[in-house]
A and B are shown apart, each in its own frame.
Chain A
Amino acid sequence: MLCFKELNKKYGSFYALDNFQTELDSGIYALLGPNGAGKSTLMNILVGLTAPTSGEILFDGKNTEQMGADFRAKIGYMPQYPGFYPGFTAMELMRYMADMKGYPRKERDKRCLELLESVNLTQQRDKKIKTFSGGMKQRLGLAQALINEPEILVLDEPTAGLDPKERVRFRNMVRKLSEKMTIIFCTHIVSDIETIAKEVILIHHGKLVQQGNIPALIKEMEGKVWEILPDADELELLLEQYPRSSLVSRNMQTVLHVVNDEKPHNDAHACEPVLEDVYLYQFGDDSV
């Protein structure tokens, strides 16, 4: 059980995290929020890269700061843009990380090869990282995060820079891993997590805005999502009037999808909400 207690992070007068608190169990927790919401700050505090201004994180009731190396041995971290020494080969990096994570020497190579295979990098294992594409680096980032068989896996915008095929592959891999560990999947891309997350945590301006499982969050949106078939003259006006709206294509027609507490237009009709609507509803202008 991971417990965030009254976490604050202040830079001058700006609060990157404002009294953030929540509890996480096993499974995938999606941390959703627009850019600058405080997601990466929260992740950095969790993995020990940044110190909180106040508050604490507890793991099974123990302060993670005080646990030190014992806590770090339980986490796997994949940063937003994982950077590696370009002169290392994939296998050399994996060995290095295994040694730094204190993985037993005897089983090290076997574990590294297994993980490289799981991220489909076996053929590239002896190639220098400088020759890798962005997607290959992301996969290698995930492989290194898993070396120590972590209990908590922290993924900070892991799909950034991946093509659609790689994103699907990545999602499936994360889903498989979630059976054994707590995964914190930090993203601003709703489609990345809508089919895999056990719970979604919405964060904005450093504050926890909403937390719950996806069906519950969507249920709360019922009666707040509307669709309008506007004529060309009205479209620009409606888009300006309702910033929490998006254009979707239905049966070769352009439909305006509006998230609003009130019916936005006489011709508007309520429609089935999706997770993206929750995101639009909470983050309003920032999310568009």
Chain B
Amino acid sequence: MNRLFTSYKYELQKLIVVRKGWILLLGVILVQLGIALFAAPSQEYVFDKGLYAEYTELYGDEYSEETSVKINEELQAVDTIVNETDLSQITDAEQIEALSEQMILASMKRNALSALQSKYAELSECREYSPILTYDLELNEYISRFGFNWASLVGMLIIIPMLMLGDKNCGMEQILFPTSTGRKAIVCSKLLVGATIGLSMTAVCSALQFIIMALRWDWGSLRVPIQSISGFGECKINGSVLTCMIVCIVIQVLSAAPYVMMISVLSSILKKEPAVISATVIITLISTFVAEKLPSISMLFLSSAMSGMSSIKAYSVSQLLILCVFLLLKTAIFSIIANCVICKKT
């Protein structure tokens, strides 16, 4: 155990300090930051910005049945004024203009209210408890980009072959393996370092996305049910956007481990960085394509877990749990294969 820890410490030091892996990690974080900032549009309202801003000011930022009643009362008041006014007796042009403006505004409010009511009814149907609905529903654009963690995958694709092939390429392997620490402990420590970096990188990338989203919107918006977001109406998870984001981050982080192991296996078989990168990209693209075409078995593919919110959209809670179990199993299988392939004496 002591040998493993010593080797782990040195592998980390070699990768991050000696081979300047920190520059790459910093690069990945900056790219992720750029993606997150670019993906986060300014706060927008679904229908009429001024109208919903007014609603928020008057009734608080959450839409509810009570709000609906209040808006209805306001609209009825306008109707009463219009109904009780004898239009034939009004001759003043300004008065006519004011009244027609009031009617147009009421009509807009009616449209907005009916949109809110139908969304609210939709949510009530797909959720067992009383749903929360805010006037700001334009999270969709951001969420759609909270998808495949490319920055993290690119980072792993560069750093894992560096880690696995570094000793071999510079000839250190020949003097390291015959030490008392030995081949198995060294390989094991490399896999652990790879997993540490892969998991941390994915966690940091996902967290950055999440933090930027939370900063650009208010926390209240994140409390709305995931079904409020267009495209997520059929989502089987009874949770808020916030909950789903956290589940998404957990799954993405879990999916980094088998990816690390798979890249490690490919590195030891293919032995050249460009070949490893090409093979991983091809495997990812093919598995993404097949997973899309065959949704019933999509959770068998690594890319499904890495694909972020689309896995939240596609799977129920029990399926997500199975997906997590699959990810752990894949990690175990790939790490066994990696150990066998890399430790095998020629």
Q: A residues within 8 Å of B by Cβ?
A: 47-51, 68-70, 72-73, 75, 77-79, 81-88, 96-97, 99-102, 141, 144-145, 148
For B186, the chain A residues whose CB sits under 8 A away are 100
Residue with the highest number of chain A CB atoms closer than 10 Å, among B7, B174, B176, B178: B178
Q: Supply 12 further A-B pairs (C-beta < 8 A) apart from A48-B345, A86-B170, A99-B6.
A: A48-B183, A49-B178, A72-B178, A73-B180, A82-B171, A85-B166, A85-B172, A96-B10, A97-B175, A99-B10, A100-B10, A100-B180
CA separation between A141 and B174, bound complex, in Å? 11
CB<8 Å pairs between A and B, sample of 9:
A49-B177, A77-B175, A84-B171, A85-B18, A85-B172, A96-B10, A97-B179, A99-B6, A141-B175
User: Which chain B residues (155-202) contact chain A, with CB distance < 8 Å?
Assistant: 166, 170-172, 174-183, 186
Closest to B166 in A: A85
Q: In the complex, which range does the number of interface residues on chain B fall in?
A: 20 to 34
Task: Known A88-B18, A100-B10; judge A69-B174 contact (CB<8 A).
Answer: no
Task: Known A87-B19, A88-B18; judge A68-B170 contact (CB<8 A).
Answer: no
CA separation between A100 and B346, bound complex, in Å? 22
CA separation between A101 and B346, bound complex, in Å? 23
Instruction: Judge if B3 is at the interface, Cβ distance under 8 Å.
Output: yes
Task: Known A50-B346, A86-B170, A100-B10; judge A75-B178 contact (CB<8 A).
Answer: yes
Instruction: Judge if B271 is at the interface, Cβ distance under 8 Å.
Output: no
Q: How far is the CB of A176 from chain B (nearest CB, A)?
A: 22
For B10, the chain A residues whose CB sits under 8 A away are 96, 99-100
B179's partner among A70, A82, A85, A101 (CB-CB below 8 A) is A101
Complex contact B345–A49 (CB within 8 A): yes
Q: B residues within 8 Å of A by Cβ?
A: 3, 6-7, 10, 14, 18-20, 166, 170-172, 174-183, 186, 345-346
Q: How far is the CB of B148 from chain A (nearest CB, A)?
A: 34
Task: Known A50-B346, A100-B10, A102-B181; judge A87-B171 contact (CB<8 A).
Answer: no
Complex contact A102–B346 (CB within 8 A): no
B174's partner among A49, A88, A99, A100 (CB-CB below 8 A) is A49
CA separation between A77 and B6, bound complex, in Å? 20
Complex contact B174–A101 (CB within 8 A): no
Complex contact A101–B177 (CB within 8 A): no
A81's partner among B3, B171, B180 (CB-CB below 8 A) is B171
For A86, the chain B residues whose CB sits under 8 A away are 170
Complex contact B177–A144 (CB within 8 A): no
Task: Known A49-B174, A79-B175; judge A68-B346 contact (CB<8 A).
Answer: no
Closest to B346 in A: A50
B18's partner among A48, A81, A87 (CB-CB below 8 A) is A87
Task: Known A48-B345, A100-B6, A100-B10; judge A69-B175 contact (CB<8 A).
Answer: no
